[in-house]
Amino acid sequence: MLREIVKLTDRTLPVTTVARNIDFEFYWQEKCMSDDMDGKNIKREKHGNSFKQAYIETHIQNLLENYKSENAEGEVIKELE
pLDDT tens-digit profile of 22-33? 999 999 998 888
CA–CA separation, 21 and 38 (whole Å)? 24
> What is the crossing angle of helices 73-80 and 51-65, to 10°?
170
pTM above 0.85, yes or no: no
50 close to 25: Cβ distance less than 8 angstroms:
yes
- The average pLDDT across 7-19 equals 89
Residue 61: predicted pLDDT: 86
Residue 54 has a pLDDT of: 92
37: exposed, middle or buried (Cβ count in 10 Å: 0-12, 13-18, 19+): middle
pLDDT band at 71 (very low <50, low <70, confident <90, very high): low
Percent of the chain with pLDDT over 90: 28
Q: Average pLDDT, stretch 59-74?
A: 77
